[in-house]
Structures are given as C-alpha cells and as structure tokens.
Amino acid sequence: MGKGHGHRLWIIPDGYIASTPAEALGPAGYITHESICILNDGNEDARCRLDIYFEDREPMLNIPFEVGAQRSLHLRLDKLKTPAGEEIPRDCCYSLRVSSSQPIVVQHSRLDVTQPNATLMTTMAFPVE
C-alpha cells in the first residue's frame, strides 16, 4: 500500500465540551465529550501534534500523539492532557489544528448528554493542502 490517504494538516474550527450535570449521567454513565477520530492507512507511523486555540486565552500547543501504521485512533478530548498536565477546559469554545508527519484522515465527533435526549454529531475536519 505504501503512502496513506489523507492530508498532513487538518483544521476543526468548532470545539466545545459542555459540563455534564450529575442527573444527566444516567445508568449508562455517559458524559459529554468530543473525540477526534484519525485513520492512518499508510505503512509508516504518523507522529502527530494537536494545537488548541481559544477565544480569550493563550493556545495549548504541540500536544503530541501517535497513530500507528495501518491503525485508527479515537482521541477523547475530555481525557487529553498536555505534557504539562493541562486539560481542555469545559464550557469554553475552542478550535483545533492537527498536524501529522504522514497523510491521515481526521473526523470530529461530539456526544452531548446535557439534554434528556442525547445527541451525537460528527463531521469531517477541514483538510489543508
């Protein structure tokens, strides 16, 4: 197969992880979260970096992660920590930039359980040439 499909730079302009009220957890224990879903269908591991941009604070830059060759990764953003131990704050708008050493495909998903009827949203990230 060789070189994988996709791009090396992806943009996700809409990020927001709402706080989950205790009563919304229910028996299944779901919490509101977002994920970036990444496919590396190439023959080489993809060394990736995530940058997070905010409206009213300094960005969180160069958060490293890896997606193995011919592997998929679902990176839960509510569990993500920077090398310094920082987490993405809840109830705060943000945007994401994903860069990679290899071509990858990136999708963004959000599960929102803040309402009685949970919602799931997913969309492809914007690939940059």
Domain residue ranges in the chain: 7-128
Radius of gyration of the chain (CA): 15
DSSP sequence for 56-118:
SS--EEEEEEEE-TTEEEEEETTS---TT---PPSS-EEEEEEEEEEEEEEEEEEEE-SSSS-
Whether the pLDDT of residue 22 is over 90: the answer is no
Whether the pLDDT of residue 69 is over 70: the answer is yes
Looking at domain 7-128, does it have CATH number 2.60.290.11? yes
Given a contact cutoff of 8 angstroms between Cβ atoms, the answer to whether 78 and 35 are in contact is no
pLDDT at 34: 93
Percentage with pLDDT > 90 across the chain = 76
Q: What is the mean pLDDT of residues 86-114?
A: 95
Overall pTM > 0.95: no
Q: What is the mean pLDDT of residues 46-61?
A: 97
pLDDT at 28: 65
pLDDT at 23: 60
Whether the pLDDT of residue 98 is over 90: the answer is yes
- CB atoms < 10 A from the CB of 12, how many? 22
Whether the pLDDT of residue 27 is over 70: the answer is no
